[in-house]
Amino acid sequence: MTTQHHGSNGSSSDAECRVSEDEKNVEDMELTELGPLLKSPEASTKPRGAAAYPSEEEEEEVEDNNDEEDDLRMVTLPLQAHHAMEKMEEFVHKVWEGRWRVIPFHLLPDWLKDNDYLLHGHRPPMPSFRACFGSIFRIHTETGNIWTHLLGLILFLCLGTLTMLRPNVSFMAPLQEKVVLGMFFLGAVLCLCFSWLFHTVYCHSEKVSRTFSKLDYSGIALLIMGSFVPWLYYSFYCSPQPRLIYLSVVCVLGISAIIVAQWDRFATPRHRPTRAGVFLGLGLSGIIPTMHFTIAEGFVKATTVGQMGWFILMGAMYITGAGLYAARIPERFFPGKCDIWFQSHQIFHVLVVAAAFIHFYGISNLQEFRHGLGGGCTDDSLL
């Protein structure tokens, strides 16, 4: 009876040990998912009164434990990698749903660091186009840059549509003039479209940022080229040879600027003055035809009938915007104060849209004046 009693106790004790070991193994597996394997203090502590030389059962138990530890060590690294992937998927899912927070400048990766005077309110890298476009409706450092050109894009799409739908009787040469005006609207629409897309998605990844930055800079060159076309067409309406020469020079310079914009280093913060200088030089190339027109027509007539005053104002706005952008004013003098609003890039965007609208107003007046003359030319006037 005594022997049976002890056997019953032994089997009960063995079952309890097996349950305890199973629970411990499950706990250890959970711990491996969270990081390096943590040893249980119970497993590493020897029972009190243990012999100096372990018994055969103890040796087998130690060997079993060592095998289990080796197996767990082998699966620890894959489980950690799996856990990291789960965390990444969770982050992407949160970003996908728009649950992200703005971060300070110093936490941005190098490819997102552009203006070190904007200290807070930056979007984190978001590897989801849906999240990028969803950020349009959030407040961050790019909100103003996105909306200034997105609204400008809508404005010029409407203006361009209304202009192209005007009846042919409003033009002396409907097809030719609509093509000329269409070049201006095409340049403006592409510039504004590429710009707001770049500022929307450039936080997606380094590759996407680099690709859309090239489109953005190419759009600026297209806007400048498109702005020259109708102005040169109407200003030198009766002088086809100078008009052709000036249009050719502008096209060559514009294409050269687009080629330079494809250089990867062109988009880096270090080359910010270079970017401003390239487009500033392209715009200032209009000084020569402006002087030609003013000398030929006289200053008074050039600034009244020739609408030269509006074009000078347009150029001044472009130059001012490019200068502020290159010098990063006003945030240079107020670091952290212009993170969301009134930063140099936003001011540059507003001036670009305003200058393009002023240019449209000037060439519209020139077109109406040309239409009023009936398309004729006099000997003493380029108009």
**248-256 LR contacts (CB < 8 Å, sep 24+):** 249/285, 250/224, 250/225, 250/282, 250/285, 250/286, 251/225, 253/281, 253/282, 253/285, 254/221, 254/222, 254/224, 254/225, 254/282, 255/221
CA atoms within 13 A on the CB side of 362: 29
- Residues with Cβ within 8 Å of 323's Cβ and at least 6 positions away in sequence, in order, are 276
Per the listing, tokens 């010098």 go with 327
Query: Is 343 in contact with 115 (CB distance < 8 Å)?
Result: yes
Any idea which residue has 């409907």 for tokens? 174
- The answer to the question of whether 292 is labelled as a binding residue is no
Q: Confirm or deny that 345 is annotated as ligand binding.
A: yes
Burial of residue 285 (CB within 10 Å: 0-12, 13-18, 19+) is middle
How many whole angstroms separate alpha carbon 158 and alpha carbon 307? 23
The half-sphere exposure of 89 on its side-chain side, counting CA atoms within 13 A, is 6
Q: Which residue is it, tokens 């799409």?
A: 157
Number of H-type helices and E-type strands within the chain: 13, 0
- Taking residue 19's Cβ as centre, other Cβ atoms within 10 Å add up to 10
Beta-carbon contacts of 72 under 8 Å, excluding residues fewer than 6 positions away, are 28, 29, 32, 37
Is 349 annotated in a binding site? The answer is yes
Residue type for position 312: I
User: Which residues carry a binding-site annotation for Zn(2+)?
Assistant: 199, 345, 349
User: Which residues carry a binding-site annotation?
Assistant: 199, 345, 349
